[in-house]
Structure 1
Amino acid sequence: MNRTEALNILGLDDDASAADIKSAYRECVQILHPDRFANNKKLQDRATEQFKRLQDAYEYLTSDRAASKQSRSSSRPRQAYTAREAKIAGLEAARTQLIAQHDALCDERRNSIIMIAAGVIIALFLRRIVWAAGLAGTLVIWGIVTLTGACKNIATLNEHLGEIEMQKRQLEENWEED
């Protein structure tokens, strides 16, 4: 991992300061903490993976390695983020990761629907062959269970994405008022 990759994980540009990194990290952690998904094992596992990536990126950026590489490679003056800009960057990074989860769940939902349709078709055409019809029935049931779980997970992610959008709008409104 290099500095640019670590900053991208946090949703920041190359010219981010230590305070910007800290603020964006805190914002991402609040949104993607695995405890927020405690009622859903699958989402909690994905959030745990993303949380580990966030921690790795933050540890890298706050370690001496990143600071020494930055001081050697950067000769241009740095433009610091404001606290609000860093929070918005953190919200955007969390939003990006949640959208990636959402896309994966949409693929899972599509595959479940295909599985159900294939099971129904196989059951109809091979209904006289008992073992084939039994396998097709199992395929349909498995598809229904997977579809139900995917739809539930998508609904949870949509709620979290809505919260992120609301927080972002509030930050932008407060910014405009100042």
Structure 2
Amino acid sequence: MNRLEALRILGLDEDATVDDIKTAYKETAQILHPDRFATNKKLQERATEQFKNLQEAYEYLTSGKGARGARASGSPSQRSSGYSAESQLEARLAGIAAARVQLVAQRDVVLDERRNGILMTVIGGIVALFTGRRPFGLFGVVAAIASAAAVWGIVSIVSAQRTLNNLDEHIQELNAEQRRIMGELDDL
């Protein structure tokens, strides 16, 4: 990993300060923390992977390995004194944009899961309906399996919908934060 990759993971530009890095890390960590996706194993696994990347980038940038040449020397206040409030707000906006991209990608995965649940419910229900008329033999087994698939599809739909609602809330929070920062930028 190099400095540019680490900054990209945090959604920051090359001129990011130590304060920008810390702020972007805290904001993105709140969004990507795997505990937020405890109801969906697949999303939790993806969030865990992305959270590890986030932590690795943060540790790289704050350990001194990702320091910017001569600008890395001196106290933190000396390093960040050359950056305006505007550039700091823009860095936060970049972090929000990166987090939104991650949430939208996760939302797309959950939409696919919900669509698969709907298909499973419909197909399982239809097969169970037609094979359930003969409750004995092979048709009875097929009807039982199709009924179980339909029930599993319903469970998948409900679970995916809960996760979608959660992701939508997070996206709305990001949008509200973006509007607030844009207002601060307009005031400058």
Indicate whether the TM-score tops 0.5.
yes
SS at match of 2:118: helix
TM-score normalised by length of structure 1: 0.81
Q: Mean Cα displacement is larger for which, 118-127 or 106-115?
A: 118-127
Question: 1:64 is paired with a residue of what secondary structure?
Answer: coil
| Structure 1 partner of 2:16 | 16
CA deviations over 1:76-115 (Å, ceiling 9, x no partner): xxx9572211211221122111111111101111111111
Q: Which residue of 2 aligns with 1:100?
A: 105
Q: Secondary structure at the match of 2:150?
A: helix
Q: 1:116: Cα distance to partner?
A: 1.1
Counterpart of 1:31 in structure 2 is: 31
Q: Is the 8 A contact 1:23 1:86 kept in 2?
A: no
Would you say the 8 A contact 1:11–1:90 is kept in 2? yes
Q: Aligned-pair distance for 1:124?
A: 2.9
* Cα distance in structure 1, aligned partners of 2:164 and 2:60: 32
Does residue 144 (structure 1) correspond to residue 154 (structure 2)? The answer is: yes
Paired with 1:139 and 1:2, the residues of 2 have a C-alpha distance of 48
Q: Could you tell me which residue of structure 2 aligns to residue 65 of structure 1?
A: 65
> How far has the Cα of 1:41 moved from its partner?
5.6
Match of 1:170 in 2: 180
Distance 1:119 1:169 in 2: 45
Structure 2 residues not aligned, in runs of 5+: 71-81
Specify the code of the residue in structure 2 equivalent to 1:8. R
The DSSP-based 3-state class of the residue aligned with 2:12 is coil
**Aligned runs of 1:113-132 on 2, under 5 Å?**
113-127=118-132, 128=134, 129-132=139-142
SS of residue matched to 2:148: helix
Point out the more displaced range, 102-111 or 53-62.
Answer: 53-62
Q: Which has the larger radius of gyration?
A: 2
- How many angstroms apart in 2 are the aligned matches of 1:27 and 1:86? 12
Q: Percent identity?
A: 49
Deviation at 1:48?
3.8
- Alignment partner, residue 77 of structure 2: none
Task: Report the CA distance between 1:118 and its aligned residue.
Answer: 1.8
Count of residues in Structure 1 that have an aligned counterpart in Structure 2: 169
Specify every segment of 5 or more residues in structure 1 that has no aligned partner in the other structure, as ranges: 73-78
